[in-house]
């Protein structure tokens, strides 16, 4: 008989459970949160469970029960157990959920970001894992993982591992993926519809991003800026940026790719990716961000060009050190 994990033990001791992720949820965030949500719903029907996320991007609504995602509104509720997934910092949780999280009898933080600040009562962080979804899988009873839970977890893994091609993909990642296929996941469908399929608006935005991109440092670094005007012109949202920074990273000769997107006036989001040796977690940390060695991000308050200059100086130093 499989030994019960600390996560499952906490779940069965609880009458009410809440799940949340980070702001602007990506595939791993949605996948891990919905994977755990479906697991609890289908194995423990007597437990009241809610999942709080900002609006789920269209490409991730393939996950079963995604329409049951809630936003924290009204009077804060005190849960027996509140679990944060794929979130490295308390202030990056789903907007408005922090007070609810703090009110819970037990708080838990399950993540894979090297920059995790361990903000919960129980913290389980595995930086070597491909994704929070992979970390979650290892905490669940494989005999209880239903198809809907398996599909969500698989989505999270393929999104954060770049369909198993990023350097965070390990032998264990592939073993977990194999187990999920055994559970019934249609691999081709999920990879095509979640990872590769693009709307026309997303294709237009990608094209504009590539046209406006700039290369520096002997073409080893590439960056592009998505302005508010571009969002307006294409009737696009931040969810339509998915895949752009990865496409920049694939440019021949490039080591570092940067995607900069303007938010509301005075703030912007920086997403960093590297191929082999530049530590972009260190770069993002300059503005209070973080993530992983090869993938990181941060939010900048103030002039994005000033911040970009600061980031480029650090990147140039790392590129020069490798020569």
Question: Mean per-residue pLDDT for 77-90?
Answer: 96
Same domain? For 142 and 225 the reply is no
Question: Mean per-residue pLDDT for 139-152?
Answer: 97
Give the rounded percent of residues in the chain with a pLDDT score beyond 70: 98
Helix (H) or strand (E) holding 258: strand 256-262
Q: How far apart are CA 166 and CA 295, in angstroms?
A: 10
Q: In this structure, is residue 80 part of a structural domain?
A: yes
Q: How far apart are CA 230 and CA 237, in angstroms?
A: 10
Answer yes or no: is pLDDT of 1 > 50: no
Convert the pLDDT of each residue in 282-294 to its tens digit: 999 999 999 889 9
Same domain? For 19 and 163 the reply is yes
Answer yes or no: is pLDDT of 177 > 60: yes
Region for residue 141 given its phi and psi (left: phi exceeds 0; alpha: psi -120 to 50; beta: otherwise): beta
Positions of E strands within 206-255:
214-216, 221-226
Question: Mean per-residue pLDDT for 233-238?
Answer: 92
The residue assigned the tokens 């590439």 is: 222
Same domain? For 144 and 267 the reply is no
The residue among 147, 162, 196 that closes a domain is: 196
Same domain? For 156 and 270 the reply is no
Same domain? For 21 and 162 the reply is yes
Same domain? For 170 and 207 the reply is no
Q: How far apart are CA 316 and CA 220, in angstroms?
A: 9
Q: How far apart are CA 29 and CA 85, in angstroms?
A: 7
Q: In this structure, is residue 1 part of a structural domain?
A: no
3 state DSSP class of 110: strand
Q: Could you tell me which residues come within 8 angstroms of residue 294 by beta carbon, excluding any fewer than 6 positions away?
A: 166, 167, 168, 273, 274, 275, 280
Residue 274: CATH number of its domain: 3.10.310.30
Q: What are phi and psi of 182, to 5 degrees?
A: -60, -30
Answer yes or no: is pLDDT of 322 > 80: no
Residue 59: CATH number of its domain: 3.90.1640.10
Burial 224-239 (b: 16+ CB within 10 A, else e): bbbeeebbeebebeeb
Same domain? For 158 and 134 the reply is yes
Which residues constitute the domain of residue 286?
200-321
The residue among 159, 178, 196 that closes a domain is: 196
Question: Mean per-residue pLDDT for 215-243?
Answer: 95
Convert the pLDDT of each residue in 180-218 to its tens digit: 999 999 999 999 999 899 999 999 999 999 999 999 999
Q: In this structure, is residue 99 part of a structural domain?
A: yes
Same domain? For 253 and 139 the reply is no
Answer yes or no: is pLDDT of 222 > 60: yes
Same domain? For 179 and 222 the reply is no
Q: What is the mean pLDDT of the chain?
A: 95
Q: What is the pLDDT of residue 2?
A: 55
Answer yes or no: is pLDDT of 105 > 90: yes
Q: In this structure, is residue 58 part of a structural domain?
A: yes
Same domain? For 154 and 262 the reply is no
Alpha-carbon separation of residue 2 from 8, 139, 143, 153, 321 (angstroms) = 12, 11, 9, 20, 48
pTM of the model: 0.89
Q: What is the pLDDT of residue 264?
A: 77
Q: What is the pLDDT of residue 55?
A: 86
258: buried, middle or exposed (CB in 10 Å: 19+, 13-18, 0-12)? Answer: buried
Convert the pLDDT of each residue in 34-71 to its tens digit: 999 999 999 999 999 999 999 898 889 999 999 999 99
Please report which residue ranges of 171-225 form alpha helices under DSSP H: 171-182, 187-190, 200-211
State the total domains in the chain. 2
Q: In this structure, is residue 221 part of a structural domain?
A: yes
Q: In this structure, is residue 144 part of a structural domain?
A: yes
Answer yes or no: is pLDDT of 265 > 60: yes
The residue among 142, 166, 196 that closes a domain is: 196
Q: What is the pLDDT of residue 157?
A: 98
Same domain? For 219 and 148 the reply is no
Question: Mean per-residue pLDDT for 75-99?
Answer: 94
Same domain? For 18 and 160 the reply is yes
Answer yes or no: is pLDDT of 175 > 50: yes
Give the rounded percent of residues in the chain with a pLDDT score beyond 90: 89
């Amino acid at each position: 008989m499989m030994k019960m994990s600390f996560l499952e033990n906490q779940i069965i001791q609880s009458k009410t459970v809440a799940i949340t992720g980070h702001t602007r949820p990506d595939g791993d965030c949605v996948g891990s949160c919905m994977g755990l949500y479906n697991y609890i719903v289908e194995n423990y029907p007597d437990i009241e469970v809610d999942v709080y996320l900002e609006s789920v991007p269209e490409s991730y609504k393939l996950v079963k029960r995604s329409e049951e995602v809630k936003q924290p509104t009204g009077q804060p509720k005190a849960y027996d157990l509140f679990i944060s997934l794929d979130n490295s910092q308390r202030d990056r949780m789903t907007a408005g959920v922090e007070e609810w999280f703090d009110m819970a009898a037990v708080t838990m933080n399950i993540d894979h970001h090297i920059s995790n600040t361990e903000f919960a009562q129980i913290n389980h962080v595995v930086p070597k894992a491909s994704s929070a979804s992979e970390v979650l899988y290892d905490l669940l009873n494989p005999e209880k993982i239903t198809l809907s839970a398996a599909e969500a977890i698989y989505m999270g893994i393929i999104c954060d591992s770049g369909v198993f091609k990023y350097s965070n993909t390990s032998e264990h990642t592939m073993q977990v993926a194999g187990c999920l296929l055994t559970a019934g996941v249609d691999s081709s469908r999920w990879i095509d519809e979640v990872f590769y399929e693009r709307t026309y608006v997303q294709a237009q935005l990608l094209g504009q991003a590539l046209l406006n991109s700039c290369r520096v440092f002997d073409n080893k670094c590439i960056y592009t800026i998505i302005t508010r005007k571009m969002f307006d012109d294409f009737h696009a949202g931040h969810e339509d940026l998915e895949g752009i920074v990865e496409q920049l990273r694939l440019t021949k000769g490039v080591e570092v790719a940067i995607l900069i997107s303007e938010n509301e006036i005075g703030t912007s989001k920086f997403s960093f990716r590297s191929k082999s040796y530049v530590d972009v977690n260190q770069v993002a940390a300059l503005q209070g961000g973080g993530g992983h060695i090869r993938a990181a991000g941060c939010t900048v308050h103030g002039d994005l060009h000033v911040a970009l200059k600061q980031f480029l100086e650090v990147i140039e130093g790392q590129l020069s050190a490798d020569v």
